[in-house]
Amino acid sequence: MDETQAKQVRHTIQIPDLSSISLCSFLLVSFVLLGRNRDRFLEFFQIIEQQVLTVVKAVEDKLDEEIAALDRLDLDDLEALRERRLHQLKKMAEKRSRWISLGHSEYSEIPEKEFFAAVKASDHVVCHFYRENWPCKVMDKHLSVLAKQHIETRFLKIHAEKSPFLTEKLRIVVLPTLALVKNAKVEDYVVGFDELGGTDDFSTEELEERLAKSQVILFEGEASSYPTKSSKTKRSVRQTEIAYSSDSE
């Protein structure tokens, strides 16, 4: 029987929807249908049975392949796998130890003169250029959390008004601004809160995903669709512009 015939059988004998009735009800209806149209009923369930057996066999074959692969491993293979895993764990422990020694896992403030040494020492750096205002304090709160969650990246802050040379060199105008540094090079910026919904109540996860888009942190979450300003009734954020004379260089 082909698929078209099977559909005709289902239509003719009105097979009930299993998702909407209990097993007992289904069995009762099945016995009634069996009495009315026994041959077609049995033929239909033979098709179902064959499909189930096909799926079960595919699963069993897959398991057999995996078991056979394990059986083919000798002691040397198992030892090699163990050694490889231990090596990976050791390398990761060494990385973590090095990161901690460089100040990773903490959100710390540094003076302007230490910036270049810091970005050379760490492969990934998020540097917050700030001043003493509310928007920058909001950013501080989120970065303090992320610094502990992403020890692969160093999180820093620099007082912009006390760092005229660096802010001019990096063209920092709006505060807060995050400079996203990879391999000692500033690759991207997060300027103000525009990319974070345009308000000061964005979540740490939103900032986390924004940093991940620039590949300055490791992150496996889903891409977010940031809420728009019109979808929130929040207070607006006053982002501060700063200007410095160019003779500081």
Highest-confidence segment of 3-17, 130-144, 227-241: 130-144
Are 169 and 241 contained in the same domain? yes
Of 31-40, 43-52, 185-194, give the range with the top mean pLDDT.
185-194
Judged by phi (left if over 0) then psi (alpha if -120 to 50, else beta), residue 198 lies in left
Domain shared by 21 and 91, yes or no: no
Q: Is the pLDDT of residue 140 over 60?
A: yes
Per-residue pLDDT at 18 exceeds 50: no
- Same-domain pairing of 27 and 91: no
Q: 182 or 240: whose pLDDT is higher?
A: 182
Q: Mean pLDDT in the chain?
A: 80
* Beta carbons of 230 and 198 less than 8 angstroms apart: no
Enclosing domain of residue 47: 3-70
Q: Are residues 236 and 163 in the same domain?
A: yes
Task: Give the lowest-confidence range in 13-22, 25-34, 160-169.
Answer: 13-22
Same structural domain for residues 141 and 179? yes
Number of domains in the chain: 3
Q: What integer pLDDT is reported at residue 16 of this predicted model?
A: 47
Same-domain status, 42 and 124: no
Return the pLDDT at 23. Answer: 53
Q: Are residues 151 and 92 in the same domain?
A: no
| CATH number, domain with residue 205 | 3.40.30.10
pLDDT value, residue 234: 40
> Are the C-beta atoms of 184 and 178 separated by less than 8 Å?
no
Same domain, yes or no: 145 and 217: yes
Question: Strand 124-130 to strand 177-182: parallel, antiparallel, or no bridges (unpaired)?
Answer: antiparallel
Q: Whole-structure pTM over 0.85, yes or no?
A: no
Answer yes or no: do 113 and 137 share one domain: yes
Residue 1 has pLDDT above 90, yes or no: no
Asked if 120 and 155 sit in the same domain, the reply is yes
Q: Which residues contact 211 (CB under 8 A, 6 or more apart)?
A: 126, 146, 153, 178, 180, 190, 217, 219
Query: Rounded mean pLDDT of 121-149?
Result: 98
Contact by Cβ (8 Å): 118, 128: no
- Would you state the pLDDT for residue 70? 75
Examine the domain organization and report whether 144 and 233 are in the same domain. yes
pLDDT tier at 21 (50, 70, 90 boundaries)?
very low
Statement to judge: residues 122 and 242 lie in one domain: yes
